[in-house]
Amino acid sequence: MEDNKIAVGLDIGTTKIIAMIGRKNEYDKIEVVGIGKAKSLGVKRGVVSNITQTIQSIQQAVEEAESVSGIKIEDVIVGIAGQHIRSLHHSDYITRNNADEVIDEADIENLVNQVHKLVMLPGEEIIHVLPQEFKVDSQADIKEPIGMYGGRLEANFHVVVGQVSSIRNIGRCVKSAGLDLSDITLEPLASAAAVLSLEEKEAGVALIDIGGGTTDLAIFKDGIIRHTAVIPFGGNVITDDIKEGCSIIEKQAELLKIKFGSAWPGENKETEIVSIPGLRGREPKEITLKNLSKIIHARVQEIIEHVYLEIKNYGHETAKGKLIAGIVLTGGGAQLKHLRQLVEYITGMDARVGFPNEHLAGDSDEALSSPAYATAVGLLMEGLSKEFKEEAVLEEVIEDAGNAQEEISKPQEETPRPVKKRPFFEKFIESLKDFLDNAE
């Protein structure tokens, strides 16, 4: 395998922007060759609020990754989150013209394209259409209908919807930073790819990705994505509460949270005190750790209850929808001390912290397996699998061209060759690129 199979994941978060360059090694693991980080200034709650600052931050992260790796970045895969993301369930069917032929990819594509024509609220656009179970004629619960006979093909879909303006703003920032946008993925799906095992997805699991501005949720059961949600609270609101509650500046509040913060107030004694230098000649402030963890506990509890409500809405309390593998916590907020215990206490479900190190090469930098990098690793994985798919299609085309050369001497047969259809999402990306080109 050549070394040039490289992909770049760009995680545009509320607190930080990460550019991660990687390739697959001979063991099919991901080798990260360069990583760049920049403070994210123009993003609020997962949505771009200042184009100029976001462009600068993206450029800074990309330049750092380029200088570490010595590789020039051209195109990136970007994650999208934000409170404008919502998901809905939809059933649709197609009646096939010829029931004597087996169902193939084209039929599924027709069905998916039909869902893409759903009328959304003004200013909304469909980001992902994810099929769940299929139904062929009256036979239900089919996971893979390709190759079966049937006249009516029906499916339940999980449809993820977002605001057109937010998606275009992200596209605009990436393009203005001098990069090409090769794909957009929902961030909870990327994080899930990086930290969940196949067994967990099969048994039923809820992934909670606690970022700076948003908390993303993705629920899997029977190996299929069942529910996604973006909750507009994250680690930043905890920092804000500490800032207000202790009357200190944001930088100090963030440091306090990271160094001494805990989600469980019971363990701190009244006597444990941290002294914080006052502003310019003022007296230092003394803060008890018990108070600090009470503030954190109150806010974290609120975030978890929000998420738990979503999990219950999905149907975790029904026999069919029970999430046996419980909860996996990831994202920067998952590093908070005793968070796992609090989540288990509130939800009554098993919980663990998800690290993205399972897919990384063995000699990777220790820091990369931090939960804060889960989304970036997931986006990179997405980019690499896309590269390999494209390479396979290209090889097929070259092979076909070779076969065609041989067959020129033979009489032509009347069987049309099935055309490789591109998924709708690639067409959407292209229309976004056209829009951005024309907008300049």
Query: Which of the residue ranges 108-117, 179-188, 392-401 would you say has the lowest mean pLDDT?
Result: 392-401
- Taking the alpha carbons at both ends of the chain, their separation in whole angstroms is 39
Q: Classify each residue of 118-148 as buried b or exposed e, where b means 16 or more C-beta atoms within 10 Å of its C-beta.
A: eeeeeebbbbbbbbbebbbeeeeebeebeee
Question: pLDDT category, 205, cuts 50, 70, 90?
Answer: very high
Query: Residue 53: exposed, middle, or buried by beta-carbon count in 10 A (0-12, 13-18, 19+)?
Result: middle
Q: What is the CA radius of gyration of the chain?
A: 24
Distances (CA, A) of 122 to 84, 99, 118, 126, 144: 13, 38, 12, 12, 34
C-alpha span between 285 and 252 (Å, rounded): 11
Give me the pLDDT at residue 418, please: 44
Of 50, 42, 5, 45, the closest CA to residue 24 belongs to: 5
* 404 — pLDDT class (breaks 50, 70, 90): low
Name 364's Cβ contacts closer than 8 Å, sequence gap at least 6: 31, 32, 357
Please give the angle made by the CA atoms of 195, 359 and 38, to the nearest 5 degrees.
75
Q: Dihedral, CA atoms, 362, 367, 369, 375, nearest 10 degrees?
A: -130
Contacts of 338 (CB under 8 A, 6+ apart): 262, 263, 264, 267
- Give, to the nearest 10 degrees, the angle between helix 51-69 and helix 164-176: 50
pLDDT of 376 > 60? The answer is yes
Does residue 190 or residue 421 have the better pLDDT?
190
DSSP H helices, 284-419, are 289-314, 339-347, 374-407
Given a cut of 70, whether residue 402 has pLDDT beyond it is no
- CA gap 380, 76 in Å, rounded: 9
What DSSP string describes 383-411?
A: HHHHHHHHHHHHHHHHHHHHHHHHHTTSP
For residues 37-48, give the mean pLDDT.
88
Q: Which residues contact 375 (CB under 8 A, 6 or more apart)?
A: 9, 11, 13, 18, 79, 187, 190, 191, 194, 209, 211, 331
Residue 247: predicted pLDDT: 87
324 close to 203: Cβ distance less than 8 angstroms: yes
pLDDT of amino acid 100: 86
| Structure confidence at residue 61 (pLDDT) | 93
- Do 90 and 115 meet the contact criterion of CB atoms below 8 Å apart? yes
Residues 296-352: pLDDT tens digits? 999 999 999 999 999 998 887 788 889 999 999 999 999 999 999 999 999 999 999
Q: Residue 64: which pLDDT band, with cuts at 50, 70 and 90?
A: very high
Whole-number percent of the chain with pLDDT over 70: 88
For residue 15, pLDDT beyond 60:
yes
Q: Which tokens hold the place of 148? A: 């079966």
Residue of 253, 233, 212, 238 whose CA lies nearest to 12: 212
What does the mean pLDDT of the chain come to? 85
- Please report the pLDDT score of residue 428 as a whole number: 65
| Of 215, 161, 224, nearest in space to 191 by CA | 215
pLDDT (0 to 100) of residue 435: 66
Burial class of residue 268, CB neighbours in 10 A (0-12, 13-18, 19+): middle
Q: For the chain, what are the domain ranges?
A: 235-294
Closest alpha carbon to 300 in 320, 326, 329, 277 = 329
**Which architecture, in CATH terms, is 235-294?**
2-Layer Sandwich (3.30)
Whether the per-residue pLDDT at 423 is higher than 60: the answer is no
402: burial class by Cβ within 10 Å (0-12, 13-18, 19+)?
exposed
Angle between helices 187-195 and 374-407 (to 10 degrees): 90
For 88-105, what is the mean pLDDT?
89
Query: At 168, which helix (H) or strand (E)?
Result: helix 164-176
DSSP alpha helix (H) spans, 321-373:
339-347
| pTM beyond 0.95 | no
Least Cα distance to 376 among 195, 169, 231 occurs for 195
DSSP 8-state symbol, 349: S
Position 438 pLDDT exceeds 80? no
Element (H, E) at 153: strand 152-163
| Least confident window among 184-188, 237-241, 434-438 | 434-438
State the pLDDT at residue 29. 84
- Strand partners for 206: 219, 327
The pLDDT assigned to 364 comes to: 75
Q: Lowest mean pLDDT: which of 203-207, 237-241, 394-398?
A: 394-398
Q: How confident is the model at residue 398 (pLDDT cuts 50, 70, 90)?
A: confident
pLDDT at 394: 67
Mean per-residue pLDDT, 109-123:
90
Dump pLDDT digits (tens) for 250-304: 999 999 999 998 888 877 677 788 888 887 878 888 888 888 999 999 999 999 9
> What pLDDT does 406 receive?
58
